[in-house]
C-alpha cells in the first residue's frame, strides 16, 4: 500500500468530549481520500477516533505505507507530533514520507518540519496531495508543486500559493466508505437517542472576525450546487440512515438565493430530514426561517460571542447585538431550537461587558449556549493584536494556542470564574424550582466574591 491518511484524535483521551459524546468523523480526510481515489491513487484511511495510538502504530507497522498523510489542528497537534516522531525514529514503520495538512500547519511551518514532518500541505488539500503523492511515488521532482513547504539543509522552503478550488461541484463526495461509521452512529444513539452525520456545502467564510482562523479555506465563499448537495443527502440517508444531519458550514444562510434553491430541491425530492446549522443573525429573516423549518431544520446556532457591543466591535464581528438577540427570539418563536456562542476574556473586556453578556443571554434565551475563554490562534488578527502582550508562551511541542496567555483587563483566572458566574446567573433565571434556584444564587454570590478578589490581586 502506498498512501495512508490518518489523524491524531482519540476519543478516549478527550475528557470534555467524554461528557458530551458527540463525535464526528474526519470529513476533510475523507474528501482528500475521495479525490486521490478518483484520480487513480489508491489509499487507506485509519480513523483514530475510536482507536488508540498503539493500534494506529501497529496498523502502520503491518501495512508499511510509503506515504502517511496526517491531518492536524489546534487540538490534535500534540498527538500528531508524538506520532510523527515515532514514525520517523523507528525503522519498524518503514520510514514513510510524512505529510501534514490542516489549519495549524500554515503559520507553524518550521515547527512542524523540525518535529519530523517531511512536507506540509498549505491550504486546501485535495489537488496538492494528489500532485505531491504522485511525485513521491514516482520519485519525481516536487519542487514546483504549489502549496507545499519543506526543509532544505534546515532552511524553510515554501512554494507559491495554490489557488483555491473555484468550482466545488467538481469535487467527488467524501469517501465515507473508507471508514466504519457504525461506532459514530451507535455512540450518538446511545447517548442522545438519535444518530447524526456531517455534511459540507461550502468552503470559506467572507466575514472578518478577528479571532477566527481562515488558514485552509480563506476569506472566501464557494458553494456546491444545491442539487448536488441534495443528491449527497439522499445517498447518506439511503446508506447510513442517520436520524439527523449537521451542516458544518461556517455561515449556512449567507446566500438567500442558494437557500431558495436548496429548499426547492429538498421539496421536489420530498425530503424532510432533521438538521442543524450555524449562521449569522443578519443572514436570517422570517422567510429563511420558514424555509429552513419546512425542510426539517430543528436547531440554528447563531453567533454572538458577546452581549457587549463594545466587545463585538473590537472583534470586528460587524453585527448588532440587538439583531442577534431578536433573531434568536424569532427562531425560538418558530419552534426551532437555538444555540449561541460566548467568548469571555477578549482584549479590553471589562466586568461591565460581562454583565451585558449575562443580560443578553437572559433576554435572548437561546436553547443552548457554549462559553469559552478567548485564546489567540497564530495567523489570526487577534494573535497579531496581542503578540506584543503575551505573558505566557508555553513550549510549542507540548502545548496548544489555548494555553497562550496575554495581558487582559483582569487576570486569566478571573475569566475562568467568570464563565461559571455567567452560567449560574443564566441558569438561575431559567430554574423553575426554588431549591435549584437557591443553589445557583449561592454559587453566583460565591463566584462574585472570588472574581472580586482576583480583580484587584
Query: What is the per-residue pLDDT across 77-109, written as a single tens digit (0 to 9) for each?
Result: 999 999 999 999 999 999 999 999 999 999 999
In a domain, 340, yes or no: no
In a domain, 375, yes or no: no
Residue 291 has pLDDT above 80, yes or no: yes
Residue 114 has pLDDT above 80, yes or no: yes
Domain count of the fold of the chain: 1
Euclidean distance between the first and the last CA atom of the chain, given in angstroms as a whole number: 60
In a domain, 267, yes or no: no
For 226, 309, 372, 391, the CA distances from 415, given in Å and listed in that order, are 42, 19, 9, 16
In a domain, 257, yes or no: no
Report the C-alpha gap between 22 and 76 in whole angstroms: 17
Question: Which residues sit opposite 46 in a β-bridge?
Answer: 6
In a domain, 111, yes or no: yes
Residue 456 has pLDDT above 90, yes or no: no
Instruction: Return the residue matching grid coordinates 454570590.
Output: 445
For 26, 202, 288, 303, 306, the CA distances from 255, given in Å and listed in that order, are 26, 11, 10, 17, 25
Residue 457 has pLDDT above 80, yes or no: no
pLDDT tens digit string along 26-58?
Answer: 999 999 999 999 999 999 999 999 999 999 999
Report the C-alpha gap between 267 and 174 in whole angstroms: 24
In a domain, 40, yes or no: yes
Report the C-alpha gap between 170 and 232 in whole angstroms: 14
Strand ranges in 216-274 using DSSP code E only, listed in sequence order: 222-223, 244-247
Q: What is the CATH number of the domain that holds 26?
A: 3.40.50.280
pTM of structure = 0.95
For residue 437, report the phi and psi dihedrals to the nearest 5 degrees.
Answer: -60, -40
Q: How many CB atoms lie within 10 A of CB 90?
A: 12
Structural domain harbouring 153 = 3-158
In a domain, 244, yes or no: no
Contacts of 134 (CB under 8 A, 6+ apart): 41, 140
Q: What is the mean pLDDT of the chain?
A: 96
pLDDT tens digit string along 173-205?
Answer: 999 999 999 999 999 999 999 999 999 999 999
In a domain, 311, yes or no: no
pLDDT tens digit string along 385-440?
Answer: 999 999 999 999 999 999 999 999 999 999 999 999 999 999 998 987 888 888 99
pLDDT tens digit string along 129-156?
Answer: 999 999 999 999 999 999 999 999 999 9
- pLDDT the model gives residue 441: 87
- pLDDT the model gives residue 269: 98
Amino acid at each position: 500500500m502506498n498512501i495512508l491518511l490518518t489523524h491524531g484524535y482519540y476519543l478516549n483521551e478527550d475528557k470534555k468530549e467524554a461528557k458530551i459524546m458527540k463525535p464526528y468523523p474526519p470529513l476533510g480526510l475523507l474528501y482528500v481520500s475521495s479525490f486521490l481515489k478518483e484520480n487513480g491513487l489508491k489509499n487507506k484511511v485509519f480513523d483514530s477516533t475510536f482507536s488508540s495510538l498503539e493500534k494506529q502504530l501497529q496498523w502502520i507497522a503491518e501495512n508499511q505505507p510509503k506515504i502517511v498523510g496526517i491531518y492536524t489542528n489546534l487540538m490534535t497537534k500534540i498527538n500528531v507530533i508524538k506520532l510523527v516522531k515515532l514514525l520517523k525514529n523507528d525503522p519498524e514503520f518503514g520510514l514513510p514520507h510524512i505529510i501534514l495538512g490542516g489549519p495549524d500547519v500554515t503559520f507553524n511551518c518550521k515547527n512542524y518540519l523540525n518535529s519530523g514532518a517531511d512536507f506540509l500541505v498549505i491550504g486546501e488539500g485535495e489537488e496538492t496531495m494528489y500532485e505531491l503523492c504522485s511525485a513521491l511515488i514516482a520519485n519525481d521532482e516536487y519542487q514546483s508543486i504549489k502549496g507545499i513547504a519543506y526543509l532544505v539543509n534546515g532552511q524553510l522552503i515554501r512554494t507559491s500559493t495554490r489557488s483555491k478550488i473555484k468550482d466545488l461541484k467538481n469535487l467527488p463526495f467524501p469517501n465515507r466508505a473508507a471508514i466504519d461509521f457504525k461506532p459514530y452512529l451507535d455512540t450518538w444513539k446511545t447517548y442522545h437517542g438519535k444518530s447524526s452525520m456531517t455534511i459540507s456545502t461550502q468552503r470559506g467564510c467572507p466575514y472578518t472576525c478577528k479571532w477566527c482562523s481562515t488558514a485552509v479555506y480563506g476569506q472566501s465563499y464557494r458553494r456546491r450546487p444545491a442539487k448536488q448537495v441534495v443528491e449527497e443527502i439522499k445517498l447518506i440517508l439511503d446508506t447510513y440512515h442517520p436520524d439527523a444531519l449537521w451542516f458544518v458550514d461556517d455561515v449556512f444562510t449567507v446566500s438567500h438565493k442558494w437557500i431558495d434553491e436548496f429548499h426547492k430541491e429538498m421539496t421536489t425530492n420530498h425530503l424532510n430530514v432533521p438538521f442543524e446549522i450555524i449562521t449569522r443573525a443578519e443572514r436570517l429573516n422570517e422567510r429563511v426561517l420558514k424555509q429552513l423549518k419546512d425542510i426539517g431544520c430543528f436547531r440554528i446556532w447563531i453567533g454572538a460571542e458577546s452581549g457587549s457591543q463594545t466587545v463585538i466591535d473590537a472583534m470586528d464581528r460587524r453585527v448588532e447585538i440587538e439583531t442577534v438577540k431578536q433573531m434568536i427570539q424569532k427562531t425560538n418563536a418558530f419552534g426551532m431550537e437555538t444555540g449561541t456562542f460566548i467568548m469571555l476574556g477578549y482584549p479590553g473586556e471589562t466586568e461591565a461587558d460581562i454583565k451585558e453578556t449575562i443580560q443578553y443571554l437572559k433576554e435572548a434565551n437561546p436553547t443552548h449556549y457554549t462559553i469559552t475563554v478567548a485564546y489567540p490562534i497564530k495567523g489570526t488578527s487577534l494573535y497579531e493584536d496581542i503578540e506584543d502582550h503575551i505573558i505566557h508562551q508555553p513550549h510549542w511541542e507540548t502545548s496548544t494556542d489555548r494555553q497562550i496567555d496575554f495581558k487582559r483587563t483582569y487576570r486569566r483566572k478571573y475569566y475562568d470564574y467568570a464563565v461559571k458566574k455567567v452560567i449560574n446567573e443564566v441558569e438561575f433565571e431559567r430554574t423553575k424550582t426554588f431549591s435549584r434556584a437557591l443553589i445557583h444564587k449561592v454559587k453566583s454570590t460565591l463566584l462574585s466574591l472570588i472574581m472580586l478578589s482576583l480583580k484587584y490581586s
